[in-house]
Chain A
Amino acid sequence: MAADRSRLPAPGPEPAFAFPAIRKHTLGNGLQVWTVEHTAVPLVTLLLLVPAGAAADPAERPGLAALTGDLLDEGAGDLSSIAMHEALARIGARLDTDVGADATTISLTALARFTEPALELLADLVLRPRFEAAEFERVRERRLHRLLQLRDLPQAIADRAFVHLLYPGHPYGHLAVGTEDSLRGMTLDEVVAFHRRAYALSRATLIIVGDGRHDAFVEAARRVFDCPSATPDGIAVDAAALLLPAAPRERFALIHRPAAVQSELRIGQVATSRHSPDYHALLVLNMVLGGQFVSRLNLKLREEKGYTYGARTSFDFRRGPGPFVLQMSIQTDVTADAIRESLAELRAVRAERPPEDGELEMARAALTRGYPRNFETAAQIARAAAQLALYELPEEYFSEFVTRVREVESEAVRRAATGYLEPDRLVTVIVGDRERIRPTLEQAGFGPIGEISLP
């Protein structure tokens, strides 16, 4: 039988999908233990969520949370740095420490038959890091070298300048990696003190997903982790991160990168938190604007104009008000044109061209129909569960997501666009060749152009 090519096949009825059940326990020291049975392959993912990240860095010590996270595996418990990594390798473990704005996550994926030793190594890393002076010096030096290298990477320069401008004097005003000055001034005592405050088990969540039974997971976690917590209180949520930052000093900033063949662009503003009632409406808005391949921005700037390899936007939802950002790498000679088109799209979506019904339907469909594939691997499920823990979302969040997105109406999206995309609050950062782009930027009339260098 030959295929009917007169039209695309219509999708059949939507398949049912059961979200993985999370079972929750609390150990005597306050540690939350969440377990998920995922028996697809003989692996286990352990994820420890510590609800303190780069925003918990003291104001004069950007980079402290990240350096602390980096030192966990450089010697812990009875094991030296090298011995720790040999032990991890012997159980086929992959260790990943991620320091975000709001949290630090330490995750370890290993062969399931090694669940117990994996838990023991994780407990060593988190509870008993050695923090030896020699390792501290070495790791600090490595991070300084990394910062040096990031000075050559236009994307990193733009990211760093963007948050710095957007969040003056605010806990979100720096990247986790920190700054050279701060790292040079850092002491081992500060690391030890940060670890003691931030890594309190009473505020942490241990998530275990993998090929095993709930009861066995909980029992193993109890044996390994149910020790008295060194500091029962831990870090309280930093109230400063919940506040809106002061207004930026510059609205349009240029960082000179001589002879650059592309300009690296960021446009954005402070938006809202993970707890915003507009969360689902903003997800839909973002899909229309720049959150997928067929978004307005990518179709205009890549598929119509060919100015870039790709343009995208995102809302970074955090505990406090996170940023909205539009980003792309633009061919140098069309920098001003690409910025003009981008600003026009940001204005249009809240004014003369609000999302059409077709666009909204497309956005809702793309967000909801593909949802089950986010829960295929143990690591995916663990990361998803960590979001529930970090933002104290209800258990039903996953099962209700699809309904909540489908219920987003066009009026809510319009309101979200008006409320969170405000032309006179937008901040623009460009990393590019001043000699070639400044004249056209001035002609374009984007307002005063401030030339800055990296903080």
Chain B
Amino acid sequence: MNIEYASRRLANGLDVIVHEDWRCPIVAVNVWYHVGSKDERPGRTGFAHLFEHLMFEGSAHYARGYFHPLQEAGAALNGSTNADRTNYWEVVPVNALELALWMESDRMGYLLPALTPGKFANQRDVVLNERRQNYENRPYGLATMVLVGALYPPDHPYHWLTIGEPDDPRASTLDEVHAFLRAYYHPRNASLTIAGAVDADRAFALAREYFEEIEPGPDVPPVRVPLPALAREERRLVEDRVELPRLYLAWHTPALFEAGDAELDLVADLLANGKTSRLYRTLVYERRLATEVAASQNSRELSSFFQIVVTAAPGRSLAEIDTVITEEIARVQADGPDEGEMTRSFVQAEAHFVQRLQTVGGFGGKSDQLNAYNMFLGDPGYFGRDMARYRGATAVALRNAMRRHLSPGTRVAVSVVPSGHLELGLPGSRVETRA
């Protein structure tokens, strides 16, 4: 199983990847820029995400909102920013492919002349409202900020979230915004995928027509930081407007695609995803100490973190839940997963990969995956080998990854408790006060 593709690099350094899929008369245009919150600095956080907003507000040759012409042509469109990269996509009827390429290329090459102080101020306000809606006014919304704050040192680029600190966009000048754009939003730092009901030769010709004229842009040196490590367990506590306490546990783990990354992804499923998982069974189903539990290997380019999130049932303490989690992890570290667990995890991983072949565009569609593999590995055709990473994971490898990376002595534990109930958090936690 694979995602067939052809690729070329344009003279200005832009990677162009084409995948043909003739099932539905639509085509996906997907652009990745290798810029995320990891490329920001303290005091100027939130830039990459604010930029994602500004990229929809017009460019030199179409200085108005991007949604109107694209939606009028029948497009779905969106963008997203994370720590490592920013992506933009349109899914258009095949007859509007040129429109999508025109617009993506115009904002790649000619954004600045259209970027006015008024647009900047407006989108800064919108982003501050996004922050209020998704973090400040949402139960448990500040926990992840505290978690990454404790997990990474202040000068590490994963120390802050993509949404950024609220005061930073207010403090930044339009000149700084321009400089950020010139540094990162150009062909040499981008990857374009066209996927859908289009002939590959035509797609490459169109990509050249619209993108090859754009200046390549400066070299973007890779971000190099020492691997973060914890010398001891770090405990934090946040009071929030919540009814039930919640515990966030996190460990440093190997980066995306490195040895141990796929194994820990499978460990996350084994521990806490679905009703057959170990922690669901003990914490939620049998002992009813918790109302919900989830785990994930948050795979990232510089290094990853493994996370378990568990919400206590009323009247239950996070300390007793933590004991059960630690015991269960120790049990798997000693004995490894059983045969039934491994069988299920292989089939589920297979189903996961097959599901990823269903759409040409949008978040997680085939075009997004081709760009991801290209950006992080320089190999758009990695789908099959990615799947092989999961197929090749053994019970022993899972056990060893857990032994090596999920130690109770070097983790971050964030307790979120109802305001005024500090006693419900893990003992010895440092109380965080942040808005």
Contact = CB atoms under 8 A, between A and B. Distances in A.
Interface of A: 1-3, 5-6, 8-9, 11-17, 40-43, 73, 81-82, 85-86, 89-94, 109-111, 138, 141-142, 145-146, 148-149, 151-154, 260-262, 292-294, 299, 302-304, 306-309, 329-331, 361-362, 365-366, 368-373, 375-378
B382 to A, nearest CB: 19
Contacts of A110: 351
Contact of B139 (A92, A94, A153, A373): A153
A285 B251 CA distance: 51
A403 to B, nearest CB: 15
A5 B71 contact: no
Residue with the highest number of chain A CB atoms closer than 10 Å, among B92, B208, B213, B347: B347
B209 A41 contact: no
A41 B274 contact: no
A16 B25 contact: yes
B132 to A, nearest CB: 5
B354 A43 contact: yes
B98 interface: yes
A365 B95 CA distance: 13
Contact of B344 (A81, A90, A366): A90
B343 interface: yes
B393 interface: no
B351 A92 contact: yes
A9 B74 contact: no
Given A153-B139, A372-B26, A82 B351 contact: no
Contacts of A42: 354
A9 B320 CA distance: 63
A5 B354 contact: no
29 contacts: A3-B213, A8-B69, A8-B102, A41-B355, A42-B354, A85-B276, A91-B347, A92-B354, A94-B351, A111-B350, A111-B354, A138-B288, A141-B288, A149-B139, A152-B139, A153-B138, A294-B65, A303-B126, A306-B125, A307-B125, A308-B126, A309-B126, A330-B129, A369-B72, A369-B74, A371-B74, A373-B24, A376-B26, A376-B359
Contacts of B138: 153
Nearest to A298: B67
Contacts of A151: 243
Interface residues of B, number: 80
Interface string B55-68: 00000111001011
Nearest to A299: B65
Given A82-B276, A292-B71, A309 B129 contact: yes
B133 interface: yes
Contacts of A306: 121-126, 129
B24 A372 contact: yes
Given A94-B351, A109-B355, A376 B74 contact: no
A294 B360 contact: no
B94 A3 contact: no
Contacts of B314: 145, 148
A1 B133 CA distance: 46
Contacts of A146: 291
A368 B105 CA distance: 26
B348 interface: yes
Contact of A41 (B26, B244, B358): B358
- The majority secondary structure among interface residues of chain A is mixed
Contacts of A82: 275-276, 281, 285
Contacts, number: 214
A11 B96 contact: yes
Contact of A40 (B98, B243, B358): B358
Contact of B68 (A13, A141, A362): A362
A110 B350 CA distance: 10
Contacts of A260: 137
B73 interface: yes
Q: Which 8 A-B pairs have the closest CB atoms?
A: A369-B74, A92-B351, A306-B125, A15-B25, A370-B74, A12-B95, A9-B98, A5-B61
A133 to B, nearest CB: 15
A214 B186 CA distance: 50
B340 interface: yes
Nearest to A368: B74
B183 interface: no
A277 B74 CA distance: 25
B105 A3 contact: yes
Given A1-B209, A81-B285, A111-B347, A377 B359 contact: yes
B114 interface: no
Contacts of A304: 122
A376 B71 contact: no
A89 B291 contact: no
Nearest to A114: B347
B99 A377 contact: no
Contact of A17 (B25, B65, B350): B25
A380 to B, nearest CB: 9
A303 B126 CA distance: 8
Contacts of A307: 125, 129
A219 B60 CA distance: 60
B242 interface: yes
Interface string B136-156: 111100000000000000000
A303 B274 contact: no
A152 B243 contact: yes
Contact of A43 (B106, B213, B355): B355
